Amino acid sequence: MHKFARPRRAVWGDARFLIGLALVALSIGGVWTVVSSAGATTPVLQANRTIVRGEPLVSGDFQIVEVGLGAITDRYLAPQELQPGQVASRTVAEGELLSDTAAENADANKTTTIVVESSTGIPAGVTAGSVVELWHAPPLGDEGRAQDAPRILAPEAIVASVTRTDGMLATDDTTVEIVIERTEVAEVLAAITGGSVLSVVPIGASS
């Protein structure tokens, strides 16, 4: 009996030895793959400036950087993937990598820009990319010597650019180019031509 049992134990021992070698080999291969992928880099686009929603995406506004993104590489646009006619679908901050969700065709864009004069001063921190509210105070009566209570005209606009007048007063007029939904254009233009006093208010600030 012992003569037949010994070979069986030896075979089982050899099998465990081979399985152990296979597991070690797989472990080494897995570590090598991880190390190799960690060291691999991919060229992607990085914004040179803040680009607001609706602005055209052009190569001059980006630089090419080599980054190691691993499995999420396909979520960001490579230089050759930037196509003519694409616009920003949201604000892209300066230094941000351009993700595929931040670009869309111009035909799909539902926003436009409009220039307004804010009758109240706005903080210096309000710059391109800031989210603001557009308020207006309609005139009272035909003479327009008094204004009605202020109310929100556009609840969520994005600042494209700010031009501040030189002066010492915080209430100096400030010209602001804002991005609004196309559905809000008619009401905003009606307020401008109707003599409303407009104010750009940072989100979270009091009117």
- CB-based contacts of 58: which residues, under 8 Å, 6+ apart? none
Q: What is the mean predicted confidence (pLDDT) over 169-178?
A: 72
Q: What is the pLDDT of residue 67?
A: 87
d(CA 52, CA 157): 11
The yes-or-no verdict on residue 207 having pLDDT over 50 is: no
- CB-based contacts of 40: which residues, under 8 Å, 6+ apart? 68, 70
Q: What is the pLDDT of residue 166?
A: 62
Prediction pTM value: 0.67
- CB-based contacts of 114: which residues, under 8 Å, 6+ apart? 177, 178, 180, 185, 188, 189
Q: What is the pLDDT of residue 17?
A: 63
The yes-or-no verdict on residue 18 having pLDDT over 90 is: no
Q: What is the mean predicted confidence (pLDDT) over 77-88?
A: 92
Residue with the larger pLDDT of the pair 74 and 136? 136
